[in-house]
Amino acid sequence: MSATEMAPKPSRRYKRGNQAAILLTCAGLLVITGACTAIVMWAGTIARNANAQAWGTNINILLGMMFIAIVLSIAGVARLGAEGGSADPVSSGTRRLWLILAALILIHSYLALLLNKKASGDTIDTFTFQRDATKSLVHGIDPYGGTQANIFDPNHTAIFYGPGMVVNGRVQVGFQYPPLTLLWALPGYLLGDVRYSYIFAVIVSALLSFAICPNRRGLWIASVLLISPLTLLIENRCWTEPLVLLALSATVYAALKKRWWLPVALGLFLATKQYNFLALPFMGCFIRPFQWRAYWKLTGLSLAIGVATVLPFAFWNFRGLWHDLVLFHLAQPFRQDAVSFAVPFPFMLKIGPVLVMAFIVWATQARRRNSAMFAAAYGVALLLFVTTSKQAFANYYFLIAQTFFLSVAALAALRESPVGSQDWA
């Protein structure tokens, strides 16, 4: 009998596990490609001094990519929910793979620092807001409820901010991100540049994704994060999604490897960005077998930890915190440069929430739920939310794509240490 004949045939569960991984990987790659294409197209539009209408003629191909990504990712979640299977067995990472990962981290760090040195962050408000807010905090000044200097010319101010948001050259917001973001950016500010904190977040996220799946698949997933031009842009523009990705990676790692860390990691993840409320319905994926008592205990512990990061600033200035974290974002204008279905079809702003709710109801009925399902379902919910909203940009799509890749890493972790209900009862 030949060696080929003696080799065991892949099981049906093996094949379907691979199908889910392929679907989610393709969806993630499409999202990254669409985001990069949008950046190039928008840069070309600005270079030609074209108007928003010219940008609108370019958006169809981008929305086509996002639509296909939605279909593929939902199909991946459906396969996960039906079978819950995984793909290749996971073995310990070899020394060679760890050395390759270390080399990639060094290359990424060098390129990120070089890009930050050559391209000043002062041209975007996400950088100046975080720099000035951390400076205020260092000097004992409440960063919430104040104002920020407007760095844009009148034309861009009209695009980026709604009516009444800029008064006498000051943006009427103190700090538009949750307190955990402020605290995370603080070490970078003390070292000379708040963007250092996000470079570090990307590095730790890559390490965690490889630790979840310490084989060639995990190395590939970490490599996509480290060598993608989109990642370098996100860091340079000082968008805060690397912190969200870090907290999500820590959550999935805790569910798979260190289950007692799960409430802490999950609570910090929920506290990193306002849109993470989308993850709340999927927290039952961590309870196996599912019990309501265990679910509410895990949810309560996680929310308590998340709230604990906000309370000191709420006691300091609740009105300012509420204005900056909620009211300011609700008042943000509709952006014609967004990669959103609402640009050509404004009615999608009303239909979008319905689609998100329908997906949540459907996904939570899945027969099999685990950490891979949590990451994938959260990614799809966020993708639906972003593609039907008034603001949809590269930073959101960066997080969505990496979330799909993270679910693939979790899917490959066959020897998952399940979070049993008895642990939270």
Instruction: Indicate if the pLDDT at residue 216 is higher than 80.
Output: yes
pLDDT at 135: 95
- Say if residues 400 and 383 touch (Cβ distance below 8 Å): yes
Do 274 and 389 contact (CB within 8 A), yes or no? no
pLDDT in tens, 124-182: 899 999 999 999 999 999 999 899 999 888 888 888 888 888 988 899 999 999 999 99
pLDDT digits (tens, 9 = 90+) for 365-412: 887 788 999 999 999 999 999 999 999 999 999 999 999 999 999 988
- Indicate the pLDDT class of residue 198, thresholds 50, 70 and 90: very high
Residue 50 has what pLDDT? 46
Residue 16 Cα distances to 23, 77, 286, 380, angstroms: 10, 12, 21, 19
pLDDT at 420 over 70: no
Report the predicted TM-score, pTM, of the whole model to 2 decimal places. 0.91
**Angstrom distances, CA of residue 135 to CA of 116, 150, 195, 302:** 19, 17, 14, 30
Q: State the chain's mean pLDDT as an integer.
A: 87
Please report, for the chain, the start and end positions of each structural domain, with discontinuous segments joined by +.
Answer: 16-423
Half-sphere exposure of 192 (CA within 13 A, CB side): 4
Digit-coded pLDDT (tens) for 71-98:
999 999 999 877 655 444 455 558 899 9
* Helical ranges in 121-164 per DSSP H: 125-138, 154-160
The pLDDT tens digits for 232-270 are 999 999 999 999 999 999 999 999 988 889 999 999 999
pLDDT band at 423 (very low <50, low <70, confident <90, very high): low
Question: Which tens digit of pLDDT belongs to each residue from 334-364?
Answer: 988 899 999 999 999 999 999 999 999 999 9
- Whether the predicted pLDDT of 302 surpasses 90: yes
Buried b (16+ CB within 10 A) or exposed e, 279-290: bebbbbbbbbee
Greater confidence (330 vs 379) lies with 379
Element spanning 291, H or E: none
Joined together, the tokens standing for residue 416 give 């998952």
Which of 186, 204, 309 lies closest to 246 in space, CA to CA? 204
pLDDT at 421: 45
Q: Is 53 exposed, middle or buried (0-12, 13-18, 19+ CB in 10 A)?
A: exposed
Beta bridge mates, 166: 171
Share of the chain above pLDDT 70, in %: 87
Q: In this predicted structure, what is the pLDDT of residue 83?
A: 63
Q: Is the pLDDT of residue 16 over 70?
A: no
Structure tokens at 61: 């191909």
